[in-house]
Amino acid sequence: MTKERGSFSRLGFILAAAGSAIGLGNIWKFPYMTFENNGGSFVLVYLLAVAVVGLPIMIAEIVIGRSTQKSPVAAFLALKKPGWSIIGWLGIMTGFVILSYYSVVAGWTVHYFIKSVGWSIRGFGPETAATLGDQFGLFLSRPFAQIGYHALFMIFSMTVVIFGVKSGIERLTTILMPVLFGILLILVITSAWSSGFPEAIRFLFKPCQISPDSLLEAVGHAFFTLSLGMGAIITYGSYMKKDESVPRSAALVCVMDTLIALMACVVMFSLIFSLPEADRTQFSASIGVMFTTLPKLFYSMHGGFILSPLFYILVGFAALTSTISLLEVVVAFFIDQLNWSRIRATLLMGLTIFAFGILSALSLGAVQGLSVIRPLGGKSQGIFDTMDYLASNWFLPVGGILIALFVGWILPKAFSRKEVEEGHGPFRLHGLWIFLLRFVAPLAIGWIVYSVIILGKSFN
């Protein structure tokens, strides 16, 4: 294998980074968070969080990656700030942890795609609808199915990463991202004909009461959904060309990510608001809703037999472009730091993460001990939940604060200005950007960490 690092071509970075950002967080997590938080104002706060915390940190991550052309640990060494390479170490651990459980859920989308094709062919009657919850529970409790689909998704991700930056990641994302957008657009257009559509739009934009906890949830989610705080964007930034504009690319990725999240909300809410009032509570904050409630809704619509399989492919594609970025962070470290070949790094790390992920795969009902264990006291239950708790509440926010502080206070302003302006021209907002990194982002995220540590809240 060659040791050449590889780089993205034009648009390659944007699509790959958008691919990383757009994932289960947009299509599954954001709609139910918005639903739980009563819509409109939550969406507004979230948009604000993306603009004043997410976007500045995304630019900061790209600056670190592109200026050094190195993966996160090596990047801080190259910047002569070895102590800060802790950000890189934390990122590798976070990538490892998130991928281990994310791949489990991603695997379910494959199973439900197959199931859904079956329903479309054989028909989806009231008996099927009535047993969806039980079927899902049964699926979670079958160890071989859980491990098998998790394995399958890890194999998909490893295959792409083995092919490298250009012929693997870039090629796949440039095909999948437009397809994903197309499928979602079809779903949005179809939902515009449903009776719930007008209410869905109203719900998304109407002002409502908002609690401090929802504010924090919005900031925390901005991190997860934009793939920030763990070096994924530093790593992709290290493959970005110098003649591209950093601020413009970052802004575009944030806009695309937000647009997809809002489109997913329109689809889901249109489905839900087409139901009689009393049935709407089925849409609860559980991971299973995508598999237990949505099929019923799809098959009650015209064209549901096509829309339902399309939906699961969509979610699977979105998840795949995210899992490859998680794996790439880990793999790039072993290539850059230990001089491993790409094949070796991908196979060994992919297998290790797969093995670790088995614990999560079995912790949703298959193995009692893993499902009820509370390694952090009362904070989380079961391995799957614990991994998500640690990543969403601790690793990503802490990584995010450190990145903001590093670029805001430690990296010389002249250096960051030069990097941001390369390929962009004069960056008039440089002062504002540094201000957001120095004060606004650390305070907003510090507040999350404070609430998690002192007040014992959790936001996953």
Q: Give 321 or 416: the residue with its C-beta nearer to ligand PHE.
A: 321
Q: Closer CB to ligand PHE, residue 326 or residue 452?
A: 326
- Taking the complex as a whole, the smallest distance from the CB of residue 460 to ligand PHE amounts, in Å, to 12
What interhelical angle do 126-141 and 86-122 show, nearest 10? 140
Is the CB of residue 166 less than 8 Å from the CB of residue 240? no
Identify which of residues 85 and 323 has a Cβ nearer to ligand PHE in the complex: 323
**Which residues are at the interface with ligand PHE (CB under 6 A)?**
20-21, 23-26, 98, 224-225, 227, 230, 232, 322, 325-326
Residue/partner pairs of 395-398 with CB below 8 Å, 24 or more apart: 395/90, 395/93, 395/94, 395/97, 395/229, 395/230, 396/94, 396/220, 396/223, 396/224, 396/228, 396/229, 396/230, 397/220, 397/223, 397/229, 397/445, 397/448, 397/449, 397/452, 398/90, 398/229, 398/449
The minimum distance between CB 146 and ligand PHE, in angstroms, equals 20
| Token pair of 285 as six digits | 């904050």
| CB-nearer residue toward ligand PHE: 61 or 422 | 61
Do residues 445 and 397 touch, judged by C-beta distance below 8 A?
Answer: yes
CB of 159 to ligand PHE, least distance (A): 18
Least distance in Å: CB of 304 to ligand PHE? 25
Q: Using CA atoms, how far apart are residues 125 and 304, in angstroms rounded to an integer?
A: 13
User: Nearer Cβ to ligand PHE, position 220 or 304?
Assistant: 220
Q: Residue 105 or residue 367: which is nearer to ligand PHE going by CB?
A: 105
* 400/408 with CB nearer ligand PHE: 400
Among residues 21 and 290, whose Cβ is nearest to ligand PHE? 21
Q: What kind and span of H or E run contains 159?
A: helix 143-162
Q: Which is nearer to ligand PHE, 23 or 408 (CB)?
A: 23
Give the 3-state secondary structure of residue 288: coil
Residue 46 tokens, joined: 């979230």
CB-facing half-sphere around the CA of 275: CA atoms within 13 A: 18
Query: Minimum CB separation from ligand PHE for residue 397, in Å?
Result: 12
Taking only Cα atoms into account, the Rg of the chain, rounded to an integer number of angstroms, comes to: 21
Q: How far is the CB of 148 from ligand PHE (least distance, A)?
A: 22
CB of 28 to ligand PHE, least distance (A): 8
Cβ(25)–Cβ(223) below 8 Å: no
Tokens representing residue 32 in the block: 């139910």
Q: Which two tokens stand for residue 278?
A: 């009393």
- Is residue 247 a contact partner of residue 51, using CB atoms and an 8 Å limit? no
Structure token pair of residue 88: 């890189």
CB of 25 to ligand PHE, least distance (A): 2
Give least dist CB 322 to ligand PHE, A: 4
Q: Which of 166, 172, 230, 201 shows the shortest CA–CA distance to 4?
A: 166
Query: What does DSSP assign to residue 375?
Result: T
Name the token pair of 317. Answer: 């594609």
